[in-house]
Structure 1
């Protein structure tokens, strides 16, 4: 799975909290965090649509977006990348650092831990 950019992740997090959302609704949720113009939000959504990170539909005559990337799998990819590439860890990333997160509930935390433990190259060490 390709790792979304930080700005794409912020959009995905807005959609994971509530979807579907229009581009305007997404922008209202992320504008304080990113400090972007509405056109920047639209452009990023277009790129994400091309990458397959979001899906677009029409609801009551309005274009709306939904996350096409599953939350736990995407977070596992981020955590694994951070653990191996940034922290140069040869062992699975410790999921207990996510305890207390507002982004995942206990069930999702358990799924995240399992994904990180079962990562295909965990026995191969950091690269």
Structure 2
């Protein structure tokens, strides 16, 4: 079965479900859209579409429907990044990484994490 790439709105909801675990539409709506004019029914419709796509599951045990991510975080994000690498960077992970580092300032702690990752990768290359 081919992986389905979530839209930006779907990815935002998936990130909430990955972090919080199974949640009601109300819980997700309050976390994602509390400070916006987006209505509850918009959140509900997005999550119903995600259910149809197989991105989430829904348990109907109680009065409220509980939604959970049906896709894992790492494979989903890897699928998205691979698509960006192929379409925008001719398949080059280096070009993608360089663009990402150029697009926004890098915090000192993130730079330290990048350096540690490079050292780890260098050990595996030898």
TM-score of the superposed pair, with normalisation by structure 2: 0.68
- Report the alpha carbon displacement of residue 81 of structure 1 after superposing the two structures with TM: 1.2
- Report the alpha carbon displacement of residue 36 of structure 1 after superposing the two structures with TM: 1.9
- 1:44 match: 46
**SS of structure 2 residue aligned to 1:62:** coil
More moved, 69-78 vs 59-68:
59-68
**SS of structure 1 residue aligned to 2:90:** coil
CA distance in 2, matches of 1:84, 1:33: 35
* Aligned residue pairs, count: 102
Asked which structure has the greater CA Rg, the reply is 2
| Equivalent of residue 59 in structure 2, options 57, 64, 67 | 57
Deviations 1:79-111 (A, max 9, x none): 1111121233345754x96x94xxxxxxxx9xx
CA distance in 1, matches of 2:80, 2:61: 31
**SS of structure 1 residue aligned to 2:47:** helix
CA distance in 1, matches of 2:76, 2:35: 20
Structure 1: gaps of 5 or more residues? 101-108, 114-127
TM-score of the superposed pair, with normalisation by structure 1: 0.67
Alpha-carbon RMSD? 3.0
- 2:29 match: 27
**SS of structure 1 residue aligned to 2:68:** strand
Structure 2: gaps of 5 or more residues? 102-108, 111-116, 122-126
